[in-house]
Structure 1
Amino acid sequence: MREIREIGDEKFRLLCDLMSGCGMRNAEAVAVNINNIVSDNTYRITEQVNQTTKVCGRLKHRKPGEYRDVPLPSRIRQEIEGYARKHGTIDGYLLRDPRDPSRPFQAYLLQNQWQRLKREHPSLVPEGIALYSFRHFFASQCLQLRIPITDVADWMGHKSLDVTFKVYRHLMPGSIARAASSLDLALAA
């Protein structure tokens, strides 16, 4: 993933970092706001850029005003803060429409760059890798670190735990064997 993020511009790298480091959806990442850093290790996702209306709005599967708190690795926090220092913000938003700074950055601009990068660097972007793969990287890493799937589902903003389980169950194949082994020990005591 690191090589792929390096072939894009600064905005692309920031968005890839938000997706792979915090599990954000594309539309959530483009609405990144420095004011949503609520602690050294927590980012509060409060809105996303709506693909139809092109304005910031409620999160997918959430009511207006609801949010998600997600892990904020220190490297990602430093990226957000560094980008804000270098480029400034408007009402805390880091990314704005390049043609009209009064409007939010649009997710399709990220998708356009992704398509161009795939064409220009086919050896770095394997067939079948989608921009969304950065978000999958986040979930996969969390689950491989044995973070509870309930936490991962919450951070990902999935509608239900069932969604997370169906998509990522293959990353937990050893759970049955671990359970059987642990139960053997407990039953022998």
Structure 2
Amino acid sequence: MAGYIEDRWLNKRPDPATGKGDRYKVAGIPGVRARTFQTLDDAKAWLAKASSQAREGEFVDPRRGLITLSEYIDKYWLPGKPQRGKNRKNINERLNHIRPQLGALPLRDVTAAVLRKFIVHLEETVAGSYGNSICSTLASILDTAVEDKRITSNSARSKSVVFPSKKVKEKREAWAPEVVRAVLEAINPRHRIAVVLGAGCGLRQGEVFGLSAADIDFKDAQIHVHRQIQLDGNTMLYKLPKGEKTRVVPMPASVAAELRRHMREYAPLLIELPWGEADAEKTQQHALVLTNAAGNANNFKNWNVRTWKPALVAASLIPKPEPGARRGAFTESRKDGFHVLRHTYASVTLREEEDIVTLSHWLGHETPTITLEHYAHFMPQSGAKGAAAVNALLAPPTAAKTPLVLKLPQHSPALIWKQYPDKEPAARRHTKVGRSEPPPSWLGPSQVPRAENHLPKAS
């Protein structure tokens, strides 16, 4: 077995001031740094373990795991990830949830117990699907640390560590018509058209910002969704819509009227932006329908703080910031983000019994399954048939129905013997069946024969 144990006290005594000092030194193992121990048993155990792992190529020096999680992310993990674009933006947003809770811990202290507690925190603060994405990013970081021989195993892959479920999704909520009208009245008139396009055509925020005059077909009452505006860092750029899917959506007459009015008051402006990436050489120019007062394309961050949130405050949907609060310190509310207009569009469309496949195309979803998962609860009578079936199952038994009794017309005795001419009295055989006439002299009112008295007897 490679390596040896050295008794350091033969040459070096404990520190006279403290009386402390590790006595035994383990060294000589190829690829393994020397370590010292206070007891011989600890030194022997370490020598055996380190030698075995060194032979199998699995040795990880515990001291390499002393680097903090945040330091490892910045120095070794992030440099291997995309440096630009939406992917980097998404990574940074997830790291903003990881760093405050775990960033100061050494890598080797990110144990399964720590992660279970972290997941409980996520489940209380973010949606299940987003929490799952955060945990997946953390697991990727720890996988890389294992490959770099910083830690021996990834605690995020332990059986006891269960990520938040992707399938647990927040129920989509739509605004009531009066709320939409309140926001339309409250928002800056220049930006009113954004609310109209979101609630009236289901466009995403970036698609509203990227809509050009050439995309609007007033003749066929259609809007062509060809692009969106996105942020790459602080740089705005044109990109294809989400999923790289262009589409055509119907334009209701009310939306067309609003667009005509808006374009008369605020003429479309030609805006040139990079295409696809912030540093792309290729650019495009489009006459944008919605621009800011300075004549530029709308920046998401500025628009949300300067236009959208103040409108929500004016419509009494969120509280006004406290006096002296920093600019933009509005109450965060996911359910009242711009995307709620898209949910509202889906709700009013489904309540008018539009089919789910058509709506999926209008919204630009990848498959109708996504539309159904998000918006099935907006469908008319959703769940009513199931509730009715359960009510029938659990309802108390009802009393047996009374058999129907045949009631014969009192003044048409001929009907009784129609099927049995041989039983008909001779005096009545000349009467036409079905005629309503007074009873004959031979039949008093109290002597109307009953049907059961004149049926042939069973032989």
Q: TM-score, normalised by structure 1?
A: 0.80
Counterpart code for 2:229: V
Match of 1:49 among 221, 229, 235: 229
Find the structure with the greater CA-based Rg: 2
Q: Does 1:96 align with 2:291?
A: yes
Deviation at residue 174 of structure 1 after TM alignment: 3.0
SS in 2 for 1:51: strand
Q: Please say if residues 34 and 80 of structure 1, whose CA atoms lie closer than 8 Å, have aligned partners that are also in contact.
A: no
Partner of 1:134: 341
Counterpart code for 1:41: A
Partners in 1 of 2:188 and 2:246 — Cα distance?
Answer: 29
Partners in 1 of 2:189 and 2:220 — Cα distance?
Answer: 22
Please state which structure has a larger fraction of its residues in helix.
1
Deviation at residue 11 of structure 1 after TM alignment: 3.1
Partner of 1:185: none
Deviation at residue 79 of structure 1 after TM alignment: 1.5
Q: TM-score, normalised by structure 2?
A: 0.35
Partners in 1 of 2:230 and 2:337 — Cα distance?
Answer: 20
Partner of 2:313: 119
SS in 2 for 1:159: coil
Partners in 2 of 1:90 and 1:167 — Cα distance?
Answer: 36
Partners in 2 of 1:160 and 1:154 — Cα distance?
Answer: 8
Partners in 1 of 2:212 and 2:311 — Cα distance?
Answer: 26
SS in 2 for 1:14: helix
The 1:97/1:57 distance shift into structure 2, 3 A limit, reads farther
Counterpart code for 1:76: V
Match of 2:242 among 60, 78, 85: 60
Partner of 1:20: 199
Q: Percent identity?
A: 23
Counterpart code for 1:59: P
Partner of 1:109: 302
| 1:59-100: CA deviation from partner (whole Å, max 9, x where unpaired) | 1111xxx5210010112112212211222122431223544x
Deviation at residue 160 of structure 1 after TM alignment: 2.0
Deviation at residue 149 of structure 1 after TM alignment: 0.6
Q: Please say if residues 269 and 288 of structure 2, whose CA atoms lie closer than 8 Å, have aligned partners that are also in contact.
A: yes
SS in 1 for 2:203: coil
Deviation at residue 116 of structure 1 after TM alignment: 2.2
Deviation at residue 175 of structure 1 after TM alignment: 6.2
